[in-house]
């Protein structure tokens, strides 16, 4: 993976792999978010996209 590649990860539902979601983002200098069940993902995706575009 290129050193400039950043991963912005999402944990969806009742029991996402917290260590995987966090680990991918932290290892690549990205960000992560956990989205609970029955929650619209639109806002969270927009926030992650804004973070990705800031750099």
For the segment 1-55, what is each residue's pLDDT rounded down to a tens digit?
557 899 999 999 999 999 999 999 999 999 999 999 999 999 999 999 999 999 6
Domain parsing of the chain, residue ranges: 9-54
Question: For residue 3, what pLDDT is reported?
Answer: 73
Question: For residue 4, what pLDDT is reported?
Answer: 86
Question: For residue 2, what pLDDT is reported?
Answer: 58
Question: For residue 36, what pLDDT is reported?
Answer: 95
Say which residue the tokens 């995987």 belong to: 20
């Amino acid at each position: 993976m290129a050193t400039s590649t950043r991963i912005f990860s999402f944990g969806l539902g009742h029991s996402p792999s917290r260590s995987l979601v966090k680990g991918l983002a932290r290892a690549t200098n990205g960000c992560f978010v956990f989205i609970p069940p029955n929650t619209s993902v639109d806002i969270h995706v927009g926030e992650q996209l804004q973070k990705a575009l800031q750099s």
